Amino acid sequence: MRRILAKVIIIYLIYYLLFWNNAGLYVDALEINEIMSTSQGSIQIIDSTVSESVYTDQSDNDVLTLDIVTKNNTFKIIGESSAESVAITIKDSNFIVVKQVSANVISGRFEWSDSLSNYIPGETYKTIAIDNNGNTTSHAITLEDNYTLNLSVLTSGKTFTVAGESSCTEVNISIKNSKFVEVENTMIDVNNGRFEWSGSISRFTPEANYSVKVTDTKGHTTSDTVIIPVKDDIYTLTVSVSTKDGELKIVGESSAKSVKINIKDANLRDVFKGSESVKNGRYIWSQSLSKYKEDETYKVIITDKDEHTVTEQMTIPISVKSIEFGDFEKKLEVGKSLSLTTTVMPTKAQDQTVKYFSSNENVATVSSSGKVTSHSAGPVIITASSGNASADAELTVYIKTIKIKLNENFLTLLPNKTFQISTLVLPKTAEQKCTYTSTNENVIIADASGVITAKNPGVASVIVSNGDASEIITAVVNNDSDRELGGSLSSYSNYNAETENIKNSQLASMIQNNASKEIVLNNTDLSLLDSSTLCMLKNENKNLIIEKGKYLILIQGRAIANPANTFLLDIPIEYVEDNMKFVVNDGQPLPGKITINLRDDGVFTKKYLYLYNQSKNKYEKIDSFNADDKSIYIDKGGTYLLTEKKLSQFPINWLVAAVAGGICVVFGSVYVVIKRRYWFY
C-alpha cells in the first residue's frame, strides 16, 4: 500500500510541474507520452493523416479540441474550449517553432488563420494548443501541393445529404451536434472525383445546429454547418454552379418565390449579393466570369425567404488567351485533305477544347479534330476557336495542273523584235492565269500579257507558271538570222530553230520513255539542248551521253541546277602555239556541272587547264582536268586553254631584255678602261 501511495504522489508532482500555467511551461502530446500516462487524461500520438483532437489532463467539465483546415490558400486553426483564451504554437518537422500566437475563445470556439504561402508544401507541421486552464491538445498535418476537397450540405424533404469533390479515393464524413456529440461517422468511396452520402433527416433534431466535417485519406479536411428544419417545414432548395464558355451560371430548384444569392471569396468577403425570382420551381442566374479572378475559389450561398440555406464551392477556371496554328501547307489540291494542329495558350487553361469552322463549306469542310477536306477550287478560311480566343488559317484550294501547252518552246529573234506567247493550261478547270519571268532581262524581257521583246544578242528563257506547274520557252537573240559565236571559234551557223525544237522534243520523249538510266546519242547533229529537254533529264534523273567526234559530253540529271540555262553542244576547238583552245557554251552560264572527254590527238600531251578571266584579262589555272582519262569537269561556260606546260604569269619581252643587256655591256667596258691602269699596282 505504501508503494502505491508513493507512486501516486510522484505522478502528481510530475503532472503539476509539466502543466503549471503560471510557470509558463508546456509540452506537446508526443513529449508527455514518453513520460507518463495518467488515469485523469489520455495522451495519444496524432497521425498527420487523421484529423483527430487530443485531450490531455482535462476534467469532466473542461473542453479543448483542435482542428487544422488548409484550403483557399489559408492555414486555419479552429477548435473549441471551455477556457477564455488559447495559446497556439506551430512547429515544423525539425521541432523548430514557426508561429506562437494567442487566440480568444468566443462562445466556446476559437479560430486563427494565416496565409498558406507562409508554409512549405509537403512539410509536416505540429500545432500545440494550451488554454489558460492548463489543458493542452496537439495536431499534426502534412501540407500537400495540390488537392481537391469541398462539400455541400443539403437538407431537403426527408433527406440529409452531404456531397462534394475530392482528389482522393475515399473520404470520412463526421457529423456532430451543437454539443459536439458525434451522430454520424462513416467512410465512403469517391467515384469520378465526387462523393455523396445521404441519411434520413429524422435522425436529426429539428432547428438544431450540426457541423459536418469531411476528411480525405491524406488528412485534408473541410467543414460546414447546417440547421435542421422543423419536421413540418417541407421545402425544396438546390443549387448547381457552372463555369463554362466565360459565363458563371447558377441554377437550382426552390419551393419559395425567390432566393438570395451571396458569393464570397476565399477570405469570406462578399463579392456579390442579390436575389433572383423562382419560376415554375426553378431559378437561373448568370454573370460574366471576367468579374472573378481566375484559379480562385469562391463560395456560393443560396438562401430562401425562410432562411433555408444551401452552399456550393466553385473554382474559376483559367481561360484560353490565344490559339496558334502549327505549320501547314497553304495550298490544297481538290480532293485532298490535310490536318491542322493548334496550340492553346496558356497551357494551364482548364477547358482547351478547340472548335473548327469553315468560311465556305462548298470549297472545304473541317472536322472537329481539324482535318480539312477540299471539294472545289477557291479560297477558304478555317477558324479555330476556344472560349473567347480564335485564330484563322487561310487556304487556297486548287485543281492540279497536268500540263501547260505553249505555242512555241524555242525561237530566234532579232533585237527589238517581239513574240506573243499563247498558253493552254490543262485541264481547263485548272488555274489559267499565268506569269511570265525572264531568266536574263539583258537578252529578253516578258510582260504580264506574255509578250517577249528581244533586247541584246544571247540566249535566255521565259518561265511560264500558273503557280502549280511551269513550262519554259527558250529564245536565241541574234544580230541577223544566222547565229555566230565569234571569230574562228564559230560553234555553228545557219541555225534552224524549228529543226532544233523538233529534235529536242524527240529527245525529251526518248528520255521520258526509255527505261534505261543512260541515254546515248552517237554522232548526233543536234546543236543545242533546250530547257524542256534539260527539265526532263533532271526530273527523270537520267544521264545523257552525247558523242560529237573529237569529244564526248556527259550531263547527269541530278547535276542540273538551272535547266533554264540552255547548252550548246558544238564546242569549237583550235590550237594556239601548241595549246588547245576551246569555247564552252559561248561563255554563257551552264545548266549545271558537265563532263567533257576530249578525244583529239593533241590532248594526250596536255597537263594543265586554264579558264580565261575577262575581268582580269588573263588565264587562271583551275583543277578540273584529269590528265589520265583526258576528262574535264566544269560548271562554268567560257574560253578554256589546255597546255603542256604551266603558263608564266610574267611573260618576257625579249626586246627590252636585249636593250638592257647592251646597256650593261657598255657600262662594263667603260669601267674596265678607267680602272685598267691600276691593275699592276
Which of 259, 281, 316 is where one domain is finished?
A: 316
Give me the pLDDT at residue 39, please: 34
Q: What local confidence, expressed as pLDDT, does residue 490 receive? A: 36
Same domain, 443 and 505: no
**Residue 229 preceded by cis peptide, ω within 30:** no
Strand ranges in 116-220 using DSSP code E only, listed in sequence order: 124-131, 136-142, 149-156, 159-166, 170-177, 182-189, 194-200, 209-216
Kindly state whether residues 309 and 343 are assigned to the same domain: no
Q: Which of 316, 338, 358 is the last residue of a domain?
A: 316
At 131, is the secondary structure helix, strand, or coil?
A: strand
pLDDT attached to residue 437: 93
The answer on 297 and 329 residing in a single domain is no
Q: Is 216 exposed, middle or buried (0-12, 13-18, 19+ CB in 10 A)?
A: buried
Using 70 as the pLDDT threshold, list the residues of the chain that sit under it: 1-2, 5-8, 12, 14-60, 145-146, 157, 230-234, 480-498, 601-602, 604, 649-657, 671-681
The sheet with strand 258-264 has its strands ordered as: 270-277, 258-264, 297-304, 309-315
> What pLDDT shows up at residue 40?
37
Asked if residue 367 is part of any domain, the answer here is yes
| Domain containing residue 89 | 64-143
Whether 308 contacts 237, CB under 8 Å: yes
pLDDT single digits (tens) 539-586: 888 999 998 878 889 999 899 988 878 889 888 888 888 888 889 988
**Whether 286 and 377 share a structural domain:** no
| 25 closest CA partner among 140, 136, 138 | 136
Which residues lie below 8 Å from residue 156, measured CB to CB, with a gap of 6+? 235, 236, 237, 238
Pairing relation of β-strands 297-304 and 331-333?
Answer: unpaired
Whole-number Å distance between alpha carbons of 313 and 294: 14
Site of grid cell 472525383:
193
DSSP letter string over 380-434?
EEEEEEETTEEEEEEEEEEPPP-EEEES-SEEEE-TT-EEE--EEEESTTS----
Residue 250 placed within a domain: yes
Q: Same domain for 185 and 202?
A: yes
Instruction: Express as a percent the part of the chain with pLDDT over 90.
Output: 35
Q: Are 45 and 32 in contact (CB under 8 A)?
A: no
Q: Does residue 70 lie within any of the structural domains?
A: yes
What pLDDT is recorded for position 56?
47
The three state secondary structure string of 238-252 is: CCEEEEECCEEEEEE
Axis-axis angle for helices 497-513, 531-540 (nearest 10): 10
Domain harbouring 244, CATH code = 2.60.40.3080
Report DSSP state, residue 648. Answer: P
Cβ neighbours of residue 602 closer than 8 Å, sequence gap 6 or more: 575, 578, 580
301 plus 361 within the same structural domain: no
Q: How far apart are CA 377 and CA 359, in angstroms?
A: 14
The verdict on 157 and 289 lying in the same domain is no
In sequence order, the β-bridge partners of residue 384 are 356, 391
Phi, psi of 483, rounded to the nearest 5 degrees: -80, 130
Give how many domains the chain has, as a whole number: 6
pLDDT digits 0-9 by tens, 404-436: 999 888 788 899 999 999 999 999 888 899 999
Q: Are residues 244 and 122 in the same domain?
A: no
Residues 224 and 252 in one domain: no
Measure Cα distances from 420 to 371, 408, 417, 430, 448 in Å: 44, 10, 11, 22, 11
